[in-house]
């Protein structure tokens, strides 16, 4: 420890063995879907989505580039400690008190935490028809992320190196929501209801970001006209606004469906066992499978002298329709795995395979089934992928190792945020460091309350 370092409750700055400088704050470890991450100039910042840390943990790989924002997030003492530790041998650490108290948060740190949570929501939000958790409208969320990214430009210095720091790309990708945002803002102003200040701030940041990045187009011109005149731009010269009946009419979601049971893949046969599988979000890309714990099901049937397992997984509304196959990993009594190829059939991923099991399964036979995308699974089983240079993963069905408790906590967080977003003044109901609802959460809560399909 460096001279003068105390054992206080501030942040600890350490020169790691790999040459990076790490800024650690108290945070519980967990899978990727419980962490909000930002790639910034010279570093990666991480917040616990399920925690209340006001400041992020950081892995600084370029202390020189990181100096442009370090002082504004952690304070001058921490920025100076990072600069000093960059020149010392690995293993040296120092405890630094934050600017005022461990719970203090600078303006940039607050906006950065919110931006990171928005990127987390775009990737990991547990939208589920089965669980009744509505999806967040991606273009609406993307436009608010563009506004936040513009506000946080001090964190970034190269869009090519930091994909999270390019507001122009977000604006161009999600412009489809801009006209609806303007109409919502105008209707909220006229009725003195809704998140008027939040809408106003987001739209003005979007306008400034578009101006700085040179993003043009009809939607941007209509936004600019609305901000200047207080009314939507109408090329015919009329500024009459037809106030929408509900947010669902402004932000109509595509891709919704009603679940329908799939036909049996194996007609006939005698069912000898059935159950639910493990839905480990880490084993396939977000958006492939409905995140519900009950999304994966299996049935073992006797067909003649053979035994066949059928596996179904409820597809997410954003799941690819063709060209991709998932797989189900099946183990009986902890034995060697059987891989079942799953193809998209309407609202489900489904597949079947022969299974080497006794003619009559004992009632308490342990059948473990988990869904994965081959090649994506972060913990591949060497029995299925002999070239994988990793230790065997937790596998489906192991107590606690499949992240069930974390998934339940994420679903609880989503439900809490939606319930808070439905309140007239929701800002005060969110725990730090993510104190306010996203506009996409407000719309999701409103459409869910109205009973609209998601």
Determine which of 147-151, 261-265, 325-329, 364-368 has the lowest per-residue pLDDT on average.
Answer: 261-265
3-state secondary structure of 88: coil
Separation of alpha carbons 276 and 156, rounded Å: 45
Span 40-64, average pLDDT: 91
**For tokens 């993510």, what's the residue?**
434
Cβ-contact 301, 266 below 8 angstroms: yes
Contacts of 159 (CB under 8 A, 6+ apart): 165, 166, 168, 169
Q: Residue length, the chain?
A: 454
Closest listed residue to residue 195, CA positions, set 454, 451, 441: 441
CB contact burial 7-22 (16+ within 10 A = b; e otherwise): eeebbbbbbeeeebbb
Which range has the worst mean pLDDT, 22-36, 63-77, 109-123?
A: 22-36
What's the pLDDT score for residue 417? 93
Nearest to 126 by CA among 418, 355, 431: 418
- Residue 234: other Cβ atoms inside 10 A: 13
Please give the helix or strand (H or E) that residue 171 lies within, else none. helix 167-173
- pLDDT band, very low/low/confident/very high, at 239 (cuts 50, 70, 90): very low
Instruction: Give the distance, in angstroms, between the CA of residue 253 and the centroid of all CA atoms in the same chain.
Output: 18
- The predicted model gives 250-269 an average pLDDT of 52
The more confident residue out of 203 and 359 is 203
- Check if the beta carbon of residue 157 is closer than 8 Å to that of residue 198: no
Distance CA 175, CA 445 (A): 22
Question: For residues 197 and 282, what is the distance between their CA atoms, to the nearest angstrom?
Answer: 37
Average pLDDT (234-246) is 45
Q: What is the pLDDT of residue 313?
A: 96
Least Cα distance to 185 among 244, 126, 249, 264 occurs for 244
Convert the pLDDT of each residue in 134-152 to its tens digit. Answer: 999 999 999 999 999 999 9
Q: Which percentage of the chain shows pLDDT scores above 70? A: 77
In terms of pTM, does the model score above 0.75? Answer: yes
Q: Does residue 186 surpass a pLDDT of 60?
A: yes
Q: pLDDT digit string (tens) for 93-135?
A: 999 976 554 445 688 999 999 999 999 999 999 999 889 999 9
For 404, phi then psi, to 5°, come to -55, -45
Antiparallel, parallel or unpaired: β 367-372 and 93-96: unpaired
Q: Output the pLDDT for position 174.
A: 94
Please give the Cα distance from 422 to 250 (Å, whole number).
Answer: 17
Of 353, 344, 283, 340, residue with least CA distance to 315: 344
Say if residues 199 and 439 touch (Cβ distance below 8 Å). Answer: yes
Q: Evaluate whether 435 touches 108 at the Cβ level (below 8 Å).
A: no
* Separation of alpha carbons 49 and 142, rounded Å: 19
Residue 299: enclosing H or E segment and its boundaries? strand 296-303
Q: What does each C-alpha distance from 63 to 60, 66, 83, 108, 444 come to in angstroms?
A: 6, 5, 6, 18, 40
Higher per-residue confidence, 195 vs 153:
153
Secondary structure (H, E, C), 22-83:
EEECCCCCCCHHHEEEEEECCEEEEEECCCCCCCCEEEECCHHHHHHHHHHHHCHHHHHHHH
| Mean pLDDT taken over the chain | 82
């Amino acid at each position: 420890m460096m001279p003068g370092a105390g054992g206080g409750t501030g942040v600890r700055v350490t020169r790691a063995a790999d040459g990076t400088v790490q800024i650690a704050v108290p945070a519980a470890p967990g899978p990727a879907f419980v962490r909000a991450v930002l790639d910034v100039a010279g570093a990666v910042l991480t917040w616990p989505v399920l925690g209340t840390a006001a400041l992020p943990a950081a892995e600084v790989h370029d202390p020189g580039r990181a100096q442009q924002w370090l002082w504004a997030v952690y304070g001058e003492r921490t920025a100076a400690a990072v600069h000093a530790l960059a020149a010392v041998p690995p293993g040296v650490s120092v405890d630094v008190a934050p600017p005022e108290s461990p719970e203090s948060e600078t303006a940039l740190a607050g906006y950065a935490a919110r931006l990171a949570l928005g990127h987390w929501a775009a990737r990991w939000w547990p939208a589920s028809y089965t669980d009744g958790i509505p999806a967040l409208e991606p273009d609406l969320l993307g436009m608010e992320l563009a506004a936040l990214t513009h506000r946080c430009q001090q964190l970034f210095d190269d869009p090519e190196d930091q994909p999270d720091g390019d507001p122009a790309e977000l604006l161009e990708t999600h412009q489809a929501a801009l006209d609806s945002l303007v109409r919502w803002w105008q209707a909220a102003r006229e009725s003195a209801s809704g998140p008027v200040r939040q809408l106003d701030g987001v739209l003005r940041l979007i306008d400034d970001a578009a101006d700085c990045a040179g993003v043009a187009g009809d939607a941007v011109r209509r936004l600019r006209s609305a901000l200047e005149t207080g009314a939507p731009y109408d090329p015919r010269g009329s500024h009459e606004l037809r106030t929408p009946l509900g947010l669902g009419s402004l932000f109509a979601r595509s891709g919704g469906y009603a679940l329908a049971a799939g036909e049996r893949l194996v007609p006939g046969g005698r069912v000898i066992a059935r159950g639910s599988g493990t839905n480990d979000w880490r084993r396939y890309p977000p958006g492939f499978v409905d995140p519900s714990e009950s999304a994966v099901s299996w049935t073992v049937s006797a067909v003649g002298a053979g035994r066949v397992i059928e596996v179904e997984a409820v597809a997410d509304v954003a799941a690819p329709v063709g060209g991709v196959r998932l797989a189900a990993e099946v183990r009986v009594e902890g034995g060697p795995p059987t891989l079942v190829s799953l193809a998209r059939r309407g609202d489900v991923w489904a597949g079947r395979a022969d299974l080497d099991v006794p003619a009559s399964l004992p009632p308490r036979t342990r059948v473990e089934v988990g869904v994965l995308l081959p090649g994506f699974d972060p913990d591949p089983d060497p029995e299925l992928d002999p070239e994988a240079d990793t230790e065997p993963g937790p596998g489906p069905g192991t107590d606690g190792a499949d992240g069930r408790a974390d998934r339940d906590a994420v679903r609880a967080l989503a439900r809490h945020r939606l319930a808070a977003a439905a309140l007239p003044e929701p800002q005060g109901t969110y725990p730090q460091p993510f104190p306010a609802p996203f506009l996409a959460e407000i719309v999701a809560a409103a459409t869910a309350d109205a009973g609209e399909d998601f």
